[in-house]
């Protein structure tokens, strides 16, 4: 069993929103690893961060992501920082990985980090804009490296983003089946 696609991207990129809509369009179940972590631990993510710290959260996340990639036959949307784990990056190889791209300004708007406290522990306290910029500087290369498909989300409604994801999935499938049939054709 293997996921049809895995969504990655920073906080606010739309992994949960787009994941739900893409899963509906493909008539597949969605597994959101943030929701799964809260389900299996019976605790909220902010609680885990504040009581156990980020390293402990990342360990749990790594286990939940590994299980999702091994067992979930639908759409998987990963937590924004899951990509920080080297083991997770290695496990993503060979999967269809869709990176939802977003600018810092739009990411801050969507996470409510501008002018509001926000519920994301990594953006809470201090200067959320600076935190988001730092986070992106570190993660952007990791998201790009892991992605097989990239979709820009700035200035696009969720419906439009979903259309783009589905179109790029189809194009990627067509390219793969062409490669397979070329591989099978007799050598001239
Ligand atoms: N393309 C879009 N245009 C406008 N708003 C969007 C778009 N995609 C998502 N949103 C909104 O942005 C907010 C964040 O979206 P969502 O929770 O899906 O992001 P996420 O990537 O799952 O974030 P996190 O990593 O924190 O879980 C939500 O309020 C959602 O409705
Ligand atoms: O970007 C991150 O590091 C995080 C994003 C969320 O999806 C949660 O997994 C958590 O708040 C950490
Ligand atoms: Mg989410």
Domain count, the chain: 1
Beta strands in 58-173 (DSSP E): 75-77, 97-101, 149-152
Q: SS3 of 111, please?
A: helix
Residue 117 confidence (pLDDT): 46
Q: Is 91's C-beta closer than 6 angstroms to any atom of ligand 2?
A: no
Q: Which of 6, 9, 16, 120 to mutate to test the pocket of ligand 1 (most atoms within 8 A of CB)?
A: 16
- pTM for this one? 0.92
User: What are the DSSP calls for 48-64, one per residue?
Assistant: HHHHH-HHHHHHHHHHH
Alpha-carbon distance of 100 to 153, in angstroms, equals 6
Domain range for 82: 5-166
**Other Cβ atoms closer than 10 A to 62:** 18
Residue nearest atom 7 of ligand 2, based on CA coordinates: 79
CATH number of the CATH domain containing 38: 3.40.50.300
> Residue 181 falls within a domain, yes or no?
no
Residue 172 lies in a domain: no
Residue 13 CA: nearest ligand 1 atom is 21
Residue 179 lies in a domain: no
Within a domain: residue 111? yes
pLDDT of residue 52: 96
Structural domain contains residue 57:
yes
Q: Is 45 in the pocket of ligand 2 (CB under 6 A)?
A: yes
Residue 113 lies in a domain: yes
Pocket probe for ligand 2: among 58, 61, 80, 110, the residue whose CB has the most ligand atoms within 8 Å is: 80
CA nearest neighbour of 153 among 8, 3, 5, 1: 8
CA distance 92 to 89: 5
ipTM beyond cut 0.85: yes
Residue stretches of the annotated binding site for ATP: 12-17, 120, 156
182 inside domain: no
* Rounded Cα–Cα distance for residues 38 and 45 (Å): 6
Q: Considering the domain boundaries, does residue 27 fall inside one? A: yes
Residue closest via CA to ligand 1's atom 25 equals 11
Mean pLDDT, consecutive 10-residue segments, the chain of 188 residues?
93 93 97 96 94 96 97 95 97 96 93 60 78 94 97 96 96 78 67
């Amino acid at each position: 069993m293997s996921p049809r696609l895995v969504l990655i991207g920073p906080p606010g990129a739309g992994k949960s929103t787009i994941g739900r809509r893409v899963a509906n369009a493909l008539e597949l179940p969605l597994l959101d690893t943030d929701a799964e972590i809260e389900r299996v631990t019976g605790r909220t993510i902010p609680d885990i961060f504040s009581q156990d710290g980020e390293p402990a959260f990342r360990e749990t996340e790594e286990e939940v992501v590994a299980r999702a990639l091994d067992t979930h036959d639908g759409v998987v949307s990963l937590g924004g920082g899951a990509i920080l784990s080297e083991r997770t990056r290695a496990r993503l190889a060979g999967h269809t990985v869709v990176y939802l791209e977003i600018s810092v300004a739009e990411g801050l708007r969507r996470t409510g980090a501008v002018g509001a406290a926000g519920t994301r522990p990594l953006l809470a306290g201090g200067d959320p804009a600076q935190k988001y910029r730092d986070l992106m500087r570190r993660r952007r290369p990791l998201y790009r490296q892991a992605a097989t498909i990239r979709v820009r989300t700035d200035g696009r409604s969720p419906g439009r983003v979903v259309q783009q994801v589905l179109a790029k999935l189809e194009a990627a499938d067509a390219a793969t089946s062409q490669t397979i049939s070329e591989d099978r054709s007799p050598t001239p």
